[in-house]
Copies of this chain bind each other. A is one copy, B any other.
């Protein structure tokens, strides 16, 4: 992967962090690098490929962020923390259609692995917990809970239901 290629993905990532997926345009990426938009097409076939590059990086980051969690509640805390620190990236990575064919093999699985382990290898439990965690995060990011709602309490309630020993 050439240096320019990496710079392009970096610039794309920064744009998304700052203004959401909608701020990712080929012109804006080029501006950030001090070149013209058409030049980008010497490095990437199209915009979707750039986006996929950002998603791949983000999934690796999540895998790392979750790797050291040693309990379900630590996992949940780390998951939520990543989402709140990088709301636009989280959305890009976890909403809408995923361009799987443009992603390096195994990236998606690596991000999911810590959760599968925490679920004791039970796929159904892992999927149910994933749904709960993603639901909590995305509803929070989208401002869907009532103002003043105690989300920590909702998280604890859900995690307890899934067998996490409650912390005091």
Confirm or deny: A150 has a beta carbon within 8 angstroms of a beta carbon on chain B.
yes
Q: B97 touching A143 by the CB < 8 A rule? A: yes
Q: Which residues of B contact A138 (CB under 8 A)?
A: 95, 134-135, 138
Residue in chain B with minimal CB distance to A152: B124
- By the criterion of a CB under 8 Å from any partner CB, how many residues of chain A are at the interface? 36
Q: Interface majority SS on A: helix, strand, loop or mixed? A: helix
How does the 8 Å CB contact mask read for A140-151 relative to B, with 1 for contact and 0 for none?
001111000111
**C-alpha spacing A161/B149, complex, angstroms:** 22
B128 lies within 8 A of A139 (CB)? no
Which residues, 64 to 106 on A, are CB-close (under 8 Å) to B? 94-98
A131 within 8 A of B: yes
Closest 8 CB pairs of A and B: A135-B135, A131-B135, A128-B158, A127-B154, A124-B157, A131-B136, A161-B161, A132-B132
| 28 A-B residue pairs with CB within 8 Å | A96-B142, A97-B142, A122-B157, A123-B149, A123-B154, A124-B153, A124-B154, A124-B157, A127-B136, A127-B145, A127-B149, A128-B132, A128-B136, A128-B157, A128-B158, A130-B139, A131-B133, A131-B135, A131-B136, A131-B139, A131-B154, A131-B158, A132-B135, A132-B158, A134-B139, A135-B135, A135-B138, A138-B138
Which A residues are within 8 Å of any B CB, using their own CB?
94-98, 122-125, 127-128, 130-136, 138-139, 142-145, 149-151, 153-158, 161-163
